[in-house]
Amino acid sequence: MNFSYRSLQSITLRSLVTVGLATALTNTHAASLVDNFDDFQYVLSTSQPASGPLVIGSSLPGTVTRTMSITSTGQNDSGEMFSEAGILSISSVQSTSTSASVIYQFDGIDFAGFADAWLIDVTGIDLGATFRLIANDTSEFQFDPISQTGRYIALFSAFSNPGVFGQLNRFELRVSTSNDTDLTLSALSADRTHGSVPEPGTLALLLTGLLLATKLNIKPSRT
């Protein structure tokens, strides 16, 4: 099949516009990763009940530190929590209950400017656990008892004082377990779950692509 220079230009332009539209439509924003639990930290309920603050890797601006602590009703380090290789693990033995706390310190970040919810990825759990989220020591949210794996979403608007997310300095994830519960988390993130608007640069690219697509009679594919 023979192609003229003009037809090749048209095909190339169509391909670029299609790729550009797909990129603009699918990558308007990404979740802000607070903690992927790659940085090692370890606590035991008796011999080492607290650790930190530890500076951790995060996609958030400024310095993010993490402090861990754990208590247990049992003896001889019956409660354990550690972060390593993308996993936060909390476990207890000897028919005891535990209260584990993970505290993050931020540089006064405006979370409300880029997110409207916390995302907690639970990758393993054998029995029930209670998750309590505390922002700036004054605003709280508590999930119903969790007993299954999955992504759990806590909307900022569901907290007792949503206004704190305009300048968040401290956030605590408090997990209470009982009856030898073992659980693991893989990530803590903040994201906009609805009503998201593309960033100005992306919006300009999207509008330009749509204009060219209209002239070339191209329909953006949905992925």
Q: Residue ranges of the domains in the chain?
A: 32-191
Distance, CA of 170 to CA of 130 (rounded, Å): 20
Residue 37 has what pLDDT?
A: 97
Q: Domain 32-191 class?
A: mainly beta
**Two structure tokens written together for 216:** 């070339």
User: SS3 for 164?
Assistant: helix
Rounded Cα distance, 86 and 103, in Å: 17
Residue 50: strand, helix, or coil: strand
What's the CA gap between 67 and 98, in Å, rounded? 17
> Kind and range of the H or E element at 55?
strand 50-55
pTM of this prediction? 0.74
pLDDT of amino acid 163: 97
Assign 139 a pLDDT band (cuts: 50, 70, 90): very high
- How many percent of the chain have pLDDT more than 70? 73
What's the rounded Cα separation, in Å, for the pair 81 and 45?
A: 9
Q: DSSP secondary-structure letter at 220?
A: P
Taking residues 144-173, report their average pLDDT: 97
The single-letter code of the amino acid at 162 is P
* Spatial separation of the C-alpha atoms in residues 1 and 195, rounded to whole Å: 47
Say if residue 221's pLDDT is above 60: no
Tell me what pLDDT residue 11 has.
Answer: 35
Beta strand 182-191 with 117-125 is antiparallel
134 pLDDT more than 80: yes
Higher pLDDT, 4 or 165: 165
**CB-based contact 181:126 (threshold 8 Å):** yes
Q: Over 60: is that where the pLDDT of 218 sits?
A: no
